[in-house]
Amino acid sequence: MHGKFDRAAEDLGNSIHLEHVNVQVPDQHLATLFYVSGLGLTRDPYLMTSDDNMWVNVGRSQFHLPTGEAQVLRGHTGLVISGRKALLERLAKVAPKLAGTKFAYREHNDYVEAICPWGNRLRCHEPDADRFGRITLGIPYVEFDVPTGNAKGIADFYPDIMGMPARFENGDANVTSVQVGKNQALRFRETDRPLAEYDGHHVQIYITNFSGPHRALAERKLIYSEDNPYQYRFRDIVDLSSGKPLFTIEHEVRSATHPMFLRPLINRNPAQTNRTFAEGYDQWLWAMGPNQYDG
């Protein structure tokens, strides 16, 4: 007989998956060098295969990289990528080809920071079931820099308007963490540094109660775009009392009935080469194996 379980521990709230981070890139060739050759990720082989956009698979999530004036996320994207030594070797290999751009990388105790040719910052963590669940490849969080004093209001906005659990932590730097999927979060960390103007980049989430947040956003005139029956967008996170904007980041909000919900994504094993080819090792297993089951 099993003991009592904490059933609330498995509640996700209204958002069930953070699917992609979208930033424009001016040069698809340089983007390929960084995201595919350097990070070791996989270009989606089925969709956006021309030279005006590229979708890059990261476990069950993606980067979307349409061609255009460079967009830079105000903060950083967290990745789980197993194999720090191999990651550093790949980044070192592409470094000469990315000379003259903003590309850089450096080791920290807890992560490797990689900066794309246009200044987007990524923190690449080793798998850690306690922090990120059982993924070996994925996007567990996106962290935004927000003005001092705004994190608490952001923590109030998401549960009330979007039905998504949020936790406010008062510390050296106040942080709000919003649950957007299993072991996935949007984080908002306060800073007193000047922030760049918002340039149009966005994140995409899937939610189960699709109409409720739409009504709440529409009542406050926050709907930015009505895309199709399965999708709408909003940009401004506001103070619930005053309506004052607290932070701007476009949310592409999709229903769980969207035709592409949890579309299977191919992830290659970047260690596989023509010189070291081993049959059966082409794919990256983005989740931990049964021998690492967490019980």
pLDDT confidence band for 293 (50 / 70 / 90): low
Question: Residues 117-150: pLDDT tens digits?
Answer: 999 999 999 999 999 999 999 999 999 999 999 9
Question: 173 pLDDT exceeds 90?
Answer: no
Query: Looking at 171-230, which runs of residues are DSSP E strands?
Result: 175-181, 184-191, 202-207, 223-228
Lowest mean pLDDT among 33-37, 98-102, 269-273: 269-273
- What CATH code is carried by the domain that includes residue 140? 3.10.180.10
Mean pLDDT of the chain: 95
Q: Provide mean pLDDT across the span 175-181.
A: 97
Question: Is 92 buried (19+), middle (13-18) or exposed (0-12) by CB count in 10 A?
Answer: exposed
Question: 34 pLDDT exceeds 80?
Answer: yes
Number of separate domains in the chain: 1
Domain ranges, residue 22: 16-272+283-288
Residue ranges in the chain assigned as alpha helix (H): 28-31, 84-94, 129-132, 151-157, 211-219
- What per-residue confidence (pLDDT) applies to 291? 78
Q: Provide mean pLDDT across the span 288-294.
A: 76
Q: Provide mean pLDDT across the span 158-176.
A: 93
> Considering the chain, what percentage of its residues have pLDDT values greater than 90?
91
- What per-residue confidence (pLDDT) applies to 294? 60
Whether 171 maps to a domain, the answer reads yes
- What per-residue confidence (pLDDT) applies to 295? 56
Question: 85 pLDDT exceeds 70?
Answer: yes
C-alpha–C-alpha distance, residues 130 and 132, integer Å: 6
- What per-residue confidence (pLDDT) applies to 210? 98
Whether 116 maps to a domain, the answer reads yes
Whether 294 maps to a domain, the answer reads no
pLDDT confidence band for 1 (50 / 70 / 90): low
